Amino acid sequence: MNEFELIARLTQNLPTNASVVAGAGDDCAVLDLGVPDKLILFKTDAVVEDIHFTKETPPEKIGRKALARCLSDIAAMAGTPTAALVTVALPKDFDGEFVAKIYDGMNALAKQCGVAIVGGETTTNPGRILISIALLGTIPRGKQILRSGAKVGDAIFVTGELGGSIAGKHLDFEPRLAEARWLAEHFQLHALMDLSDGLGGDLRHILNASKVGAQILKPAVPVARAAKLRAKENTAAKPPFVAALTDGEDFELLFTLASKDAVKLLDAWQRKFPGLKLSCVGKIVAGEGILVRDRLATHTFNATGFVHFK
């Protein structure tokens, strides 16, 4: 049983109540707690030693990544983060100064993004460090953007470049909070999420939720230089295009909108965010699954991104 099979099994009969606007199955839960003009976003995420970082990772970067992952999910709903709780599980022989530096990295990013860290929990975890963060955010009432709204004919966009994040980006990425809010304010996005497990895997979440398929144009996918270098230096590495779709931990935005708005968006984006690439990588089509079209043919893309328990 892999990660997504387990999630499907565990979420079959979750209890709910009148406050739930959107529950399990999206980047954040969306809750109506009676706040005028706002809905509440609720997200949790964890990083684990030897999975998301190593003993050699600078502690400040560990703390930054732990919070940044949750912030990226708030961005995936075009929301604004507000407050976090932090649970730290440590081996019995932990280094207190190392843990304090983890918090230094976390605190610096929290201040940058206007997030209050309001408490948490510490506990023992034999053998390795685990950090779990629960994050609250807000979004204007009725403005939530889910994975389930993609429509046939939509253009598919990604920000930034994809693949090769293990070279460093997975520790240093910038959650696309401002970019997502700007998009939501100026354009009618149909579906939105962040890229944590790779375009090949995460796009499928949108397709499954929206009951549609996708066609990706291979030359349009923005492959990161790190993925190209890795393939050049190591013949056993993934081809750059495959790496761009499957490496994971890009933490860029993936979204769809009506194709008639694509050119207008690209022009406006270049003016607003000249230092960040925005690429139209394909379109939403009827059917299911992902097709990849290059200059010679179209074929089905079956590979997935990172999956726990695989």
Q: How confident is the model at residue 1 (pLDDT cuts 50, 70, 90)?
A: confident
Which residues, in sequence order, are bridge partners of residue 46? 132
Model confidence at 122: pLDDT above 70: yes
**Structure-token match 């700007």, residue found:** 182
Indicate the DSSP class of residue 147.
G
Residues 6+ apart with CB under 8 A from 90: 99, 122, 123, 124, 125, 129
CA distance 78 to 88: 28
Looking at residues 259-267, what average pLDDT do you find? Answer: 98
CA distance 254 to 202: 8
Q: Which 3 state secondary structure label does DSSP give 196?
A: coil
Predicted model pTM: 0.94
Closest CA relative to residue 173, chosen from 86, 253, 232: 253
Identify the weakest region by mean pLDDT among 114-118, 223-227, 299-303: 299-303
Cα separations in angstroms, 45 against 52, 66, 67: 12, 8, 8
**pLDDT attached to residue 282:** 98
Model confidence at 249: pLDDT above 70: yes
Closest CA relative to residue 117, chosen from 150, 73, 86: 86
**pLDDT attached to residue 46:** 96
Model confidence at 4: pLDDT above 80: no
Considering only CA atoms, give the Rg of the chain.
Answer: 19
Looking at residues 35-62, what average pLDDT do you find? Answer: 96
**pLDDT attached to residue 67:** 98
Looking at residues 79-106, what average pLDDT do you find? Answer: 97
Are the C-beta atoms of 9 and 19 separated by less than 8 Å? Answer: no
Q: pLDDT of 270-282, one tens digit each?
A: 999 999 999 999 9
Which residues, in sequence order, are bridge partners of residue 28? none
CA distance 40 to 23: 12
Q: How confident is the model at residue 30 (pLDDT cuts 50, 70, 90)?
A: very high
Q: Tokens in use for 69? A: 């992952």
CA distance 298 to 190: 25
Identify the weakest region by mean pLDDT among 8-12, 204-208, 290-294: 8-12
Query: What are the structural domains of the chain?
Result: 3-140 (3.30.1330.10), 147-301 (3.90.650.10)
**pLDDT attached to residue 132:** 98
Q: How confident is the model at residue 2 (pLDDT cuts 50, 70, 90)?
A: confident
Residues 6+ apart with CB under 8 A from 107: 63, 117
Q: How confident is the model at residue 3 (pLDDT cuts 50, 70, 90)?
A: confident
**pLDDT attached to residue 310:** 62
What stretches of the chain show up as alpha helix (H) in DSSP? 3-10, 59-75, 96-112, 169-172, 177-186, 199-210, 225-233, 240-246, 262-272
For 219, other C-beta atoms within 10 Å of its C-beta total 10
**pLDDT attached to residue 309:** 60
CA distance 113 to 258: 30
**pLDDT attached to residue 86:** 98
Q: How confident is the model at residue 235 (pLDDT cuts 50, 70, 90)?
A: confident
Model confidence at 307: pLDDT above 70: no
- Give, for 33, the enclosing helix (H) or strand (E): none
Q: How confident is the model at residue 303 (pLDDT cuts 50, 70, 90)?
A: confident
Q: How confident is the model at residue 267 (pLDDT cuts 50, 70, 90)?
A: very high
Closest CA relative to residue 35, chosen from 137, 148, 112: 137
Indicate the DSSP class of residue 19.
T
Q: How many CA atoms lie within 13 A of 226 on its CB side?
A: 16
**pLDDT attached to residue 13:** 87
